[in-house]
């Protein structure tokens, strides 16, 4: 059952049946670098996450192959929640992220009363930067955060982006 779909993708509610795919995604070093975290949880620890804490958590399904290709989750902030995406390694750089983000944004703005959604990525994550801009997010430099890269020990910057809900009469500028 898809909560929203187009001709290529469907977004279906995330369940613990999806944990293994998501856990395996976290085993990928590029996923860890994309979130600046060394992932050390066991699968038993990982599968204890309380899914129902999140208003929006979905699995991305390629409708042509019926394969799970990723996951999206909206953060817990009630004012401007963060939309995060994990495309599983063998499905990256094929347009899934852009397509899934568009579907998710449409669904979230239609079903929740948010004026805006945020998203972040590190300055050197070219694919995420392009995807965020392509779907309509704009830079929000006030929200940028300086961090220490847990892999190199060097300073890095997570860039913040936002997209505004047009039903509130706001426009991205």
Classify residue 140 as exposed, middle or buried by CB count within 10 Å of its CB (0-12, 13-18, 19+): middle
- The pLDDT of residue 8 is above 70: yes
Rounded CA separation 33/115 (Å): 30
pLDDT band at 168 (very low <50, low <70, confident <90, very high): low
Mean pLDDT of the chain: 94
- The pLDDT of residue 161 is above 50: yes
Displacement of CA 62 from its chain's centroid (Å): 16
* Chain segment 19-42, per-residue pLDDT in tens: 999 999 999 999 999 999 999 999
Q: Quote the pLDDT of residue 166.
A: 81
Q: Quote the pLDDT of residue 172.
A: 47
pTM of the model: 0.91
* Chain segment 79-122, per-residue pLDDT in tens: 999 999 999 999 999 999 999 999 999 999 999 999 999 999 99
């Amino acid at each position: 059952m898809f909560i929203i779909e187009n001709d290529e993708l469907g977004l279906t509610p995330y369940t613990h049946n999806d944990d293994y795919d998501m856990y395996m995604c976290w085993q990928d070093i590029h996923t860890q670098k994309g979130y600046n975290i060394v992932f050390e949880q066991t699968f038993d620890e990982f599968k204890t996450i309380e899914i129902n804490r999140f208003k929006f958590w979905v699995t991305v399904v390629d409708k042509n192959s019926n394969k799970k290709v990723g996951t999206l989750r909206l953060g817990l902030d009630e004012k401007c929640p963060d939309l995060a995406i994990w495309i599983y390694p063998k499905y990256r750089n094929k347009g899934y992220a852009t397509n899934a983000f568009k579907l998710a944004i449409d669904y979230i703005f239609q079903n929740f009363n948010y004026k805006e959604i945020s998203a972040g990525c590190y300055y050197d994550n070219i694919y995420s930067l392009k995807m965020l801009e392509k779907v309509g997010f704009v830079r929000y430099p006030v929200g940028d955060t300086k961090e220490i890269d847990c892999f190199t020990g060097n300073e890095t910057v997570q860039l913040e982006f936002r997209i505004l809900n047009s039903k509130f009469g706001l426009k991205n500028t």
